[in-house]
Structure 1
Amino acid sequence: MSHSGEKAKHQSTSNAQSAKSAAEVRIDAPHPTPKTKDSPQRQPETAAAALAAATVQPKPAIKTGGTPATPEAASAAEPPAAAPSLESPVERARKQAEQLANHLRARLKELDHREAQLNARIAGYENDMRAARLWLSEQQAALDVRAKQLEAREKELAARIEQLAAATAQAERESQTARQTSKAAEAAEAALRLERQRIDAHREASLQLVRQLMAGVEKRRQALESQQSESQKRLLAAREELRAREEALNETSRQLDARRKHIEQTEARLSLLDDELKRLREQLVAEREQLYEDVRLEKKRLEAEHSQTQAELQRKREALQKQSQKLDECRAALEQTRSELIRLHRETLEIRLATEELWVQLSAAAPPAALTRSLGRIRSRLADQYRLANAELQSQKTELESIRSQLAAQYQKLEQRRKQFEQWAARQQDELQQQANLLIAREQEVRRQESQLRDAAHRWESERLAYQRQILRLQAQLAGDGDPQLPDGELIGAPA
Structure 2
Amino acid sequence: MDSQDSLHIPGQSPEMRVDGAHEMASPDRVPASQPSHTPRLVAAGAPQDQSTPLGHGASSGAAPSQERVDDARGDAHEDDPSHGILGDAFSEGFSLSAAGLAQHATELAQRLQERLHAVDRRESRLNAQEAEFDSRVRSARLWISQREEELERQQQEMAEREERQRQQQEASAELVEQANDVAQRLAEVAAREKAVERQRLELDILVTEQQTRVDALDFERAACRSRQEEMEEALRGLEARQRKLDQREAQIYADQERATSERLQLDKDQQRALERDSSIVDREKTLREWESRLREEASEAEFQRNELARTAAAQEDQAAALSAEERSLKFRQTEIATALKRFERLGIIEERVHELERRSDELDMRSQYLDNAEAILAEQQVELSNQKRELEEQRLSFENRVTRERKSLQQESTQARAEIDQRRQSLDRRDQALDQREAALDELAEQLRESQRETLEMRLATEETWLQLQGALAPASLSRSVAHIRAKIAEHFQMTAEDLDAKRQDLEKVRTELAEQFEQVEHRRQRLQHWLEAQQRDIEQQAARLIQRERDLDDQHRDCQQLEERWQTERTEYQREIQRLLGVVRKPGALHEAA
TM-score range, shorter chain: 0.5 to 0.7
Relative to structure 1, is the Cα distance of residues 143 and 422 closer, same or farther in structure 2, using a 3 angstrom cutoff? Answer: same
Q: CA separation of 1:373/1:332 partners in 2, compared to 1, >3 Å: closer, same or farther?
A: same
Q: Which has the larger radius of gyration?
A: 1
Q: Which amino acid aligns with 1:318?
A: Q
Unaligned residue ranges in structure 1 (runs of 5+): 1-127, 211-241
Residue 164 of structure 2: aligned partner: none
> Structure 1: how far apart are the matches of 2:410 and 2:340?
76
Letter in 2 for 1:329: Q
Instruction: Tell me, in whole angstroms, the C-alpha distance in 1 between the residues paired with 2:569 and 2:535.
Output: 51
How far apart in 1 are the matches of 2:438 and 2:461?
Answer: 34
Counterpart for residue 339 of structure 1: 446
Q: Partners in 2 of 1:262 and 1:190 — Cα distance?
A: 25
Alignment RMSD (CA, Å): 4.5
**Matched residues in 1 for 2:335 and 2:373: separation?**
19
1:140 equivalent in alignment to 2:280:
yes
Correspondences of 1:337-486 after superposition (within 5 Å) = 337-358=444-465, 360-361=467-468, 364=471, 366=473, 368-480=475-587, 482=589, 485=592
Q: 1:410 to 1:207 in 2, by over 3 A?
A: closer
CA gap 1:453/1:202 in 2 versus in 1, 3 angstroms: closer
Aligned equivalents of 1:464, 1:268: Cα separation in 2: 14
Q: Deviations over 1:310-329 (max 9, x none)?
A: 22212321331232133123
C-alpha separation in 2, matches of 1:464 and 1:292: 41
Distance in structure 1 (CA, Å) of the matches to 2:321 and 2:387:
19
Alpha-carbon displacement from aligned partner over 1:237-293 (angstroms, at most 9, x marks no partner)? xxxxx4xx5432322112221332344245335534643553454245324313421
2:402 is the alignment partner of 1:316: no
Look up the match of 1:293. Answer: 400
**Residues 309 and 204 (structure 1), Cα distance of their counterparts in 2 relative to 1, 3 Å cut:** same
Q: For residue 170 of structure 1, report the CA deviation from its aligned partner.
A: 6.0
Question: 1:282 aligned to 389, 412, 435, which one?
Answer: 389
Deviation at 1:167, TM superposition (A): 7.4
Describe the superposition over 1:143-195 as per-residue Cα deviations: whole angstroms up to 9, x where unpaired: 44764675587478558745687578568758867986997899899999999
For the structure 1 residues 153 and 143, does the alpha-carbon distance in structure 2 shift closer, same or farther, using more than 3 Å as the test?
same
Query: Equivalences for 1:117-266 in 2 at 5 Å?
Result: 131-137=271-277, 139-140=279-280, 143-144=283-284, 147=287, 150=290, 154=294, 161=301, 166=307, 207-208=348-349, 242=351, 245-266=352-373
Deviations 1:421-480 (A, max 9, x none): 431331133123212221233123213312430331133023213312321231132123
Change (3 A) 1:277 1:450: farther
Q: Distance in 2 between matches of 1:278 and 1:403?
A: 69
Relative to structure 1, the CA distance from residue 135 to residue 328 in structure 2 (aligned partners, 3 Å threshold; closer, same or farther) is same
Shift of the 278–459 alpha-carbon distance from structure 1 to 2, 3 Å rule, reads same
Closer, same or farther: CA 189–254 of 1 in aligned 2, 3 Å:
farther
Deviations along 1:318-369, one digit per CA (max 9) or x if unpaired, are 3312321331233133213312331233134313422552465256465554
Gaps of 5+ in 2: 1-267
2:414 aligns with 307
In structure 2, what is the Cα distance between the partners aligned to 1:270 and 1:183?
21
When the two structures are superposed, what TM-score results if normalisation uses the length of structure 2?
Answer: 0.45
Using structure 1 for the length normalisation, give the TM-score. 0.53
Q: Deviations over 1:40-86 (max 9, x none)?
A: xxxxxxxxxxxxxxxxxxxxxxxxxxxxxxxxxxxxxxxxxxxxxxx
Give matches, 1:481-496, under 5 Å: 482=589, 485=592
Distance across 1 between alignment mates of 2:396 and 2:296:
17
Deviation string 1:103-150 (CA, Å, 9 cap, x unpaired) is: xxxxxxxxxxxxxxxxxxxxxxxxx99933145246435644764675
Whole-angstrom distance in 2 between the partners of 1:199 and 1:256: 17
The secondary structure found in structure 2 opposite 1:131 is coil
Structure 2: distance between partners of 1:273 and 1:283:
15
Mapped to 1, the partners of 2:583 and 2:549 lie a distance apart of 51
Contact 1:360 / 1:366 at 8 angstroms: preserved in 2? yes
Structure 2 CA distance for partners of 1:184 and 1:174, relative to 1, 3 Å: same
CA distance in 1: counterparts of 2:525 and 2:315, whole angstroms = 49
Higher RCO (C-alpha under 8 Å, 6+ residues apart): 1
Amino acid at match of 2:549: R
CA separation in 1, counterparts of 2:343 and 2:456?
Answer: 144
Equivalent AA in structure 2 for residue 434 of structure 1:
Q
Measured after TM superposition, the shift of residue 416 of structure 1 is 1.9
Q: Percent identity?
A: 29
8 Å Cα contact 2:467-2:473 kept in structure 1: yes
1: distance between equivalents of 2:507 and 2:330?
Answer: 96
* Distance in structure 1 (CA, Å) of the matches to 2:368 and 2:334: 15
